[in-house]
Amino acid sequence: MPSISSWLLAARLRTLPLSISGILVGSGLAQMEGLFKWEIFVLALLSTLGFQVLSNFANDYGDGVKGTDNEHRVGPARAMQSGLLTTSDLIRGMIVITVLTMMAVIALIYTAFGADDLMLSLLFLFLGITAIIAAVKYTVGKSAYGYRGLGDFFVFIFFGLVAVMGSYFLFTRQLDIVKVLPAATIGLLATAVLHLNNMRDRVEDEKVGKKTLAVLMGKSGSKRYHIVVIMVAFVAWNVFLFVSKVPEVYFLTILPFLVLGIHIRKVILVEQPKAYDPELKKVALVTFTIASVFFVLCLILPQLVIG
C-alpha cells in the first residue's frame, strides 16, 4: 500500500497556494460589496483544492504513461516516475479525489443558490464537471491539450477568469466587467508559472513530442512571451485599482510585483533549464501574496462598492 508521503508527493503541495489565489481575489471582491460569506468561501477553497490535486494526480499519471517523466527530466521527481505509485494507484486516487471534489462542488452550489435557482445550479454544476475534465485532459489521453500548446490558455481561463469571476458570482449573483481585470491578473500570473515549468522542461518535452508553447516558441521566444505575460498582469492589476477608486492602502498589493521585476531580469539571463525552478516558485509565491494581501485588506477595511 502506498505511503502517505507518496500521495503527498503526487499531490504536489507547493502548487496549492497558487490554485486558491483566484478564490481569494474573487472573495475579496465580494467582501468589498458586503456580500462575503464564510461558508461559501470555505467550500470554494475545498472545491478548488480538489481540482488542483486531481490535476496533479492526472499529470503524474499522464506524463508517466507517455514517458515524458523519465530519468532525463529536469524538475522534481514524480511519484509514478519514482516508482512510489503505480498507474492503478493513481487511477484509484483520481477516482477518489473526483468524488470528494464533486461532493464539495455540490455543497458549494447548494449553499450559494439553495434549492430554488435550478438554472444557476445546473450552470455551476456544468462548470464543475468541465473543470474536472480539464484537470484530467491536460496530460491524459491521445488528445491531451497540454501536449498541443493549449495549457497556457486553459490555465488562464480556469485559474483566472473562472476562479475569480466564478467565486465572485457565487457570493453576489452578478458579473461586472471591471472584475475581469483582477481575474486576468491572476490568470496571467498562473500562466507564467506554467510557462516557467515548460521552459524548464522544454528540451526534454520536445524530445518526447510534448508541444508546449515553450517548445513551439523556442528559447528566445519563450522568454519574450513570459515577460509580456508578467507585464500585462501588472498593468491589468494597476488599471483595476485606479478604475475602482479604492483607498490608497490597496496599492500595497503592488509591492509584490517588485519581486517580479528582479525575476524578469533573472529569466532573461537564464541559460541552464534547472535555473528556472526557483523562479517558478517565486512567481507562484508572489501571486499568492498579492491575492492574500488583497483578501485581508478587503476583510479589514470598510465595505466599498466598486464598478
The pTM for the full model equals 0.92
Cα–Cα nearest to 279, from 292, 295, 262: 262
Q: How far is CA 97 from CA 21, 47, 50, 206, in A?
A: 21, 10, 6, 31
User: Is 154 within 8 Å of 145 (Cβ atoms)?
Assistant: yes
In this structure, which amino acid lies at residue 102?
A: M
- What residue ranges do the domains of the chain occupy? 14-294
Per-residue pLDDT of the chain (307 residues; tens, 9 = 90+): 777 888 888 888 888 999 999 999 999 999 999 999 999 999 999 999 999 999 988 888 877 776 665 555 555 666 677 777 888 888 999 999 999 999 999 999 999 998 778 888 999 999 999 999 998 888 887 778 888 888 999 999 999 999 999 999 999 999 999 999 999 999 999 999 999 999 998 888 888 888 899 999 999 999 999 999 999 999 999 999 999 988 899 999 999 999 999 999 999 998 888 888 889 999 999 999 999 999 999 999 866 655 5
